[in-house]
Structure 1
């Protein structure tokens, strides 16, 4: 590799300084001991030459070198006598050929492993001494290390191929040259690809194979055969034995490592990069180099990747994404500020990675049109950029000098103990060790040089990425490439507020590898990468961040596309805040948007929070939405789609506090009215088409319960009574398939129930309850108005008249609705025995309490003094009002309005105020709980965001305070109930 041979004896005097007198004594003792078996070492130790002082100093500074010298003393003899290039090239050749048969015997895997380790230890020892002695530069050190890695991987691959051939699993074209024509390709990535390996580098490789190369008997078996082979390759290279290891080997840069085998079919790899390849993978393949296996096939594979790596047009669009990759790998120490102790010379601010990204980003932008920029080595890339006038020669020189100085520092850090680290020591003593290894006399001048270098790099990099300050919103690693968790990233996620960082990292890797439709496009992933720090910060600040993030993942998995969402979130922080609030507070809403992502579209309306969801507002939108529907099934599906979206949007307004619980109840009810009206109209059209009409036929729907009093929640069912009428002499409908009156209106009612509650691909509208019709479940499902009138006048019980106080006509024939309202008014205007009514109300409340006791204080409907007590008070007052000479029609009013209308005349105003306060709080809490979760509320198990929202709704500092308020008001309501409904 060099024209003139170089020897370690050429080392300059005092090129490095020893660490301490104590260490000098220890190192001298080791060398003298070696001299007992190595004559040239003994001779050297007897003299006072620069080489002796150098060796002693080197062994004081590097415990690793001292240990190696002790284990393999012959290496010291070799180092001081042989030409360095010859020795290094000899060990590289020894590694490359260790797979070859000896005396017609193939070496065993153990023998290959021993040979490679012996060669690596020998080369590393000699190379470290040559580097420390300044006989080799950092460039040469990196090149020798890379050449040895090529040789070691090539030898291991040839051994594995030959072993597979001998066992009959493969049919090699030429067993004397196993890799040739095999179609098995090993691509060196990163510093290995650029021939810039660190002293203690991992090696990053990606393995592809051609199933049709002809060496696999059945191409279908290729994945399994080569997958097994790659596991053995990793073992050969990185397993620690008594002889050490060769290289830690990383295969995580292959396409989508979480779901692909260790060796990937070439066609699958090309398809992946073409359709789902990410910008960080483009950047990685700038350095991609065929290092082992079928080199010709490897070069062809890389040639086919050129359009993926280097796009045809100037690719400025990718600069933000590339920068966000850099932002993802900033580390806490050395990112926020320039430092020395504890600074990461690779990933920290002003470090090696910034120089690499400075070059690679511009290579990606312009490499498609300027082939000279497609070079693997960082120094060559900087030079090519200067020659192409992308940067000035001054910048190229500055960054090149900085690059090799920092690489020198990196080599020294790793030479100390053969550890794969890039972080400068925290202590003065250890920092002095690195400074001395670099030839500095003390740490002050070393620190000054380092800081100056970091600042040069930082300044040049920051000018390239002018958005640096804006984009670097998160300090710490955020690396989601590869298959394994990055330890620094896990620390960052923990610091952001996540309790299960490994789970979160796995989820985010799923996004980045395009496994969801929303993240399959390059543009969507670029936006997501740019958005990631803010996204993680926002979710991390929410309570129970992990649960919220996993709900967001579920939502993302159902989205048909993601670029619009990611772009909107990036430009609208309020939208991100709203999404986080949903995911952290409202699992029910999160499940809705996960299963029906279309409901999310409405959130993009900028007027969402400003416009109240009134009946007119909803009616206009429903009319427009239903207009294209042509068939009955289409109408039902569209009603369900509209209902899901509008319920969701009403819920969002409630969750954010844009509307309160009472307004939400009115909005949910107005929505229900419109949906029921359209469902009835659609059902009538269907029935009439099949069976015709009745002379004088009329139908109307009466809403009962919370539907009648405008108090539906997000999860309410609807209580309905279907009323009908027709001419007395009409016995049969006039259609092609005539029906008698009972069957006609029964079928119409059953079709309506199905239209509302039957599940379709778009879900259900409502669960329907018709038990409040005359005679309950025993009576007919449809009731003729005459029968309804007779029943209410002659047969209805007190509890049925109580239910009637909340009856309201929802839709249908206006004249029939007026008749029904008259029946209700007449039934409720009859003077009643107050004592009997009071007794009936108390008995009914006691029965409910016995058969449906409350679960806990949060069962706001059933607790003593809860919503049922308040509703019963309002209903009781409505029933006894006529006996007291009062005529107040409260049908069509909410419970709160009905309380006020009667309470002003029938109870102390303080009691009325207490009831209204309790009703407002219980309604608010109930609406929020039903919106956010399915099932009962548990203070311990509820999402923390929901707990916070409820506390805020009750104007309380925390959930304990809110619980106290519920207890206080419920106790007061129960006292008023006993007083009002007294015997």
Structure 2
């Protein structure tokens, strides 16, 4: 860092920067005169006109922040102009690193004193670094390195201070009071520019903090979350709270796993499970630069070693690159990423900016880093050099991008030096742009703009080449021509005639295919096949309503395909398959996304019996058994379950979309699929637990499906409500494996593993989102429940609404004996006599509460509208609870809502029963189709026209207006039935 240990500001060249204007220069002269009175020694260095005095005055006119710092602390300026820079910065960094240390008497400094020391040290480094940078005594490389070093020192000092305070307060027992972090198991990783030692002048710092609860420094490991959570809140306060001395660094902890639902410090084991099962591609990119900066550095390095398989996969990982590139596209959209213009340009996120260079390097590190360890480096410049050395890019590209990177880092630093603001946007006005140009040493804004535009365009060109392959084009024949840069007039007429409303846009989309910008169209063979089928494709899409939308969804599908030859061949030789694909794109955005993400689901669509053979439990079970037959290892079993579930959910959906099965059949099929898959996942998890921890004496597990899973009414997008029950010998104290666990921890961990197995997003997708809030005590209770505790709770503590939920409970998997015991308990609880008046009161209050807290958004909110699905379900559940008192013994917890209503038919007027069953069928048919086709709310005005047609068909109505009228009619009727029955 720096140009040697003797770098001085007095080495500054004449005219390296110039004053902003004469008015500012007069003010700076007046300030310098005043500062000289406060620090007379300044006169010795700055009295005579010369390069140094000229530089200081110019710096004060250009940077109000530096001027204010000098005014606040004249001694800073004296030190800067009178002595070598590097030793002073090193002293300040050491001052920061030692800010936590007790004094000679052993007294631990208080938090205000630590905060003051850190702020003084950071202020010295910021002032000295900025002046040396502006004077060109430092390069941008030096500046980023020094700023990163003081950030490391400040974070390490704050962590040591907090650990020492914890030790002094009895919360922790440190292994070495003179080095609190040693062996602490507390891991503090610097992310992004901090991790790469590339901090910009006014950077905030991104930290991710993990801890090992078994490190031995905590009195009670169960207190770890609370202890470290409180510690991290104080860490943020120490670093970023503004005091009279300013602040150290704005601090962001949001890069931790799932920040919306995890504590500020995350247990190591939980973090590793998260990254293994749910880690995102953007997190992989982020961890390329992760570096232990404080806390237990050895543990931090060990943690990063364990993450290597997550960050750098074994195979060339092109699939992740579309994801990373999509992040870049999202940034462009969010930031109004238009043409390059200097004024107002974001040098970090804008076109040709710093982020494009970083992504250029990181995407290729992700692709090849698994096989080429030399590419696993943190700094951007080093990564570019490594890519060139590996012949992944050429030397010229690496050199060009490196020069561009450091030039833009210089620009970024000067933008931030003006007011010490975390901004990357160039000024909009000429006067303020001149300030930046002068700080960079340019003679005027024209020269600066020219240099910046050249830099941005160079980066943009290199970045575009990385993602876009410009090749010769294959053209269609006749009046469907998509070669060249301009639209062919005859082609636009043809597209209009085929039914497309925006032919220019469609022409542009198809031209993109032929440019080979998608992986699916990069090979000549793929483009030739696509060209051959383009006329048929356009004709099929043109015949669908809102043809433009449908084709754009197909375009989105193409953009995500890893390869195209096989698909284009299938579609070209199978008109029925093409029609089905168009149907999906026109009516079902959700299904379109699924096939975009998982093209292998198409394989099942080629089965000629697809629309004839019903997806019964036996049918699905045989296929699952065959699909799992060769799987041996835990992860392989789970991945095969994910693939199978995704494909079969999709195929059940196709049957529903085409009308070969109805809503109730689809619900049963989706539920049978879930039963089979969850059962296999549970078996795999139990086997894995037994391999690691052994068995609990007498240990047994059973799984209850609740809600729609219990009543065979899942939709394509449903989560699954589960309760895990267990039992064991009374004298069982722990499992008999190599790593024994007590029963509660054993079954808690087993449940957590099952949840992770089902809901962790992986390359093969997610099996099911899991909801366990229906267990005893809800989210406050343990995730696994012993059967006797479950029985006691249901008999003595459960509320009416919990017994209503229990009326839909269905034992679906696990030990046969425990399943039978659980079923007996559920039947006994539901058969118990109850106060009918209290039940009525509770049911009405519950329905009113739902109506108040979750009012229906519109008539298509079929679940929540008055007289909607909730009302019908409540009628069935209420009748199930009061039936025993009326002399009826009906087990509804093995039945769908419709079957439960029929079984309870003696308790309800026949006309009312018919109304409920008619409404339930309509709601089920509609909601199954809607949930299959879209994820969000159904608004007929804003969904694909093909979907409104399909919804009207599901309602057996000629159009949406008639369908809506029928929903309104039946919902009013159901609400009246509800009022009559629950009374």
TM-score normalised by the chain length of structure 2: 0.52
Query: TM-score, normalising length from structure 1?
Result: 0.52
- 1:933 — aligned with what? 934
Relative to 1, partners in 2 of residues 1:220 and 1:619: Cα closer, same or farther, differing over 3 Å?
A: closer
Shift of 1:532: 1.5
Q: Which residue of 2 aligns with 1:886?
A: 888
1:507 aligned to which of 506, 509, 512: 509
Q: Which residue of structure 2 aligns with residue 763 of structure 1?
A: 765
Distance in 2 separating the partners of 1:975 and 1:492: 56
List aligned pairs for 1:845-884, cutoff 5 A: 845-884=847-886
2-structure distance, mates of 1:767, 1:641? 16
Deviation at 1:791, TM superposition (A): 1.2
Q: Could you give the per-residue CA deviations for residues 915-967 of structure 1, whole angstroms, max 9, x where no partner exists? A: 11100000111111111111101111011110000001111111111110000
What are the superposed Cα offsets for residues 406-442 of structure 1, whole Å, 9 maximum, x if unpaired? xxxxxxxxxxxxxxxxxxxxxxxxxxxxxxxxxxxxx
Q: Which residue of 2 is the match for residue 981 of structure 1?
A: 982
1:496 aligns with 2:498: yes
Task: Return the alpha-carbon distance in structure 2 between the equivalents of residues 817 and 219 of structure 1.
Answer: 68
SS at match of 2:704: strand
- Distance in 2 of aligned mates of 1:920 and 1:588: 23
**C-alpha distance in structure 2 between counterparts of 1:760 and 1:272, whole Å:** 29
- Residue of structure 2 in register with 1:251 after alignment: none
| Aligned pair partner of 2:825 in 819, 823, 830 | 823
Cα distance between partner residues in 2 of 1:526 and 1:917: 52
Cα pair 2:656 2:662 within 8 Å, conserved: yes
- CA–CA separation in structure 2 for the residues paired with 1:742 and 1:891: 28
1:620 Cα deviation from its structure 2 partner = 1.5
Change (3 A) 1:220 1:653: closer
**What is the CA distance between 1:272 and its match in structure 2?**
9.2
1:582 equivalent among 581, 584, 589? 584
Report what 1:956 is aligned to.
957
Cross-structure match for 2:910 = 909
Question: Of the candidates 557, 570, 573, which is equivalent to residue 571 of structure 1?
Answer: 573
| Structure 2 CA distance for aligned equivalents of residues 631 and 483 of structure 1 | 52
Query: 2:716 maps to what in 1?
Result: 714
Q: After superposition, what is the alpha-carbon deviation per residue over 1:587-606, rounded to whole angstroms, capped at 9, x for unaligned? A: 01101111121122211222
Number of residue equivalences: 526
Structure 1 moving runs of 4+ over 6 Å: 218-221
Q: How many angstroms apart in 1 are the aligned matches of 2:694 and 2:664?
A: 42
For residues 523 and 781 of structure 1, what CA distance do their matches in structure 2 show?
54
Between the aligned partners of 1:836 and 1:219, the Cα distance in structure 2 is: 81
1:972 Cα shift? 0.3
Instruction: Give a deviation string over 1:240-273, Cα, whole Å, max 9, x none.
Output: xxxxxxxxxxxxxxxxxxxx99xx9xxx9xx999
Partner residue, 1:922: 923
Structure 1 counterpart SS, 2:701:
strand
- Aligned-partner Cα distance in 1 for 2:971–2:469: 62
Tell me what 2:662 maps to: 660
Q: 1:969 to 1:523 in 2, by over 3 A?
A: same
Tell me what 1:788 maps to.
790
Deviation track 1:32-52 (CA, whole Å, cap 9, x = no partner) reads xxxxxxxxxxxxxxxxxxxxx
Does the CA contact (< 8 Å) of 2:705 and 2:812 recur in 1?
A: yes
Question: Counterpart in 2 of 1:529?
Answer: 531
Q: 1:597 aligned to 2:599?
A: yes
In structure 2, distance between residues paired with 1:622 and 1:483: 50
Q: Give the secondary structure class of the aligned counterpart of 1:787.
A: helix
Question: What is the CA–CA distance in structure 2 between the aligned matches of 1:853 and 1:900, rounded to whole Å?
Answer: 29
> What is the SS of the residue equivalent to 1:842?
helix
Q: In the alignment, what sits opposite 2:647?
A: 645
Deviation string 1:841-891 (CA, Å, 9 cap, x unpaired) is: 111101100011000000000000000000000001111111110111121
Q: Which residue of 1 aligns with 2:627?
A: 625
1:136-285 to 2 correspondence within 5 Å?
none
SS at match of 1:706: helix
Runs of 5+ in structure 1 lacking a partner? 1-217, 224-259, 281-324, 330-476
How much has 1:220 moved relative to structure 2?
8.9
1:279 deviates by: 6.0
Cα distance in 2, alignment partners of residues 838 and 754 from structure 1: 39
Secondary structure of 1:873's partner?
A: helix
What is the Cα-based RMSD across aligned positions, in Å? 2.4
2:526 corresponds to 1:550: no
Instruction: Give CA-to-partner distance per residue, 1:620-671, whole Å, 9 cap, x none.
Output: 2112222232322222222111111111111111111111111111111111
Structure 1: distance between partners of 2:611 and 2:594: 20
In the alignment, the residues of structure 2 paired with residue 657 and residue 628 of structure 1 have an alpha-carbon distance, to the nearest angstrom, of 35
- Aligned partner of 2:636 in structure 1 is 634
**Equivalent-residue separation in structure 2 for 1:748 and 1:278 (angstroms):** 56
Instruction: Give the secondary-structure state (helix, strand or coil) at the position aligned to 2:904.
Output: helix
2-side partners of 1:921 and 1:279: how far apart?
49
Equivalent in the alignment of 2:969: 968
User: What does residue range 101-140 of structure 1 map to in structure 2 within 5 Å?
Assistant: none
1:605-754 map, 5 Å: 605-754=607-756
| SS of residue in 2 equivalent to 1:810 | strand
The CA deviation at 1:695 is 1.2
Describe the shift of the 1:219–1:941 C-alpha distance in structure 2 as closer, same or farther (beyond 3 A).
Answer: closer
Deviations 1:781-839 (A, max 9, x none): 11111111111111111111100000001100000000000000000111222222111
Partner of 2:488: 486
Shift of 1:278: 5.8
SS in 2 for 1:733: coil
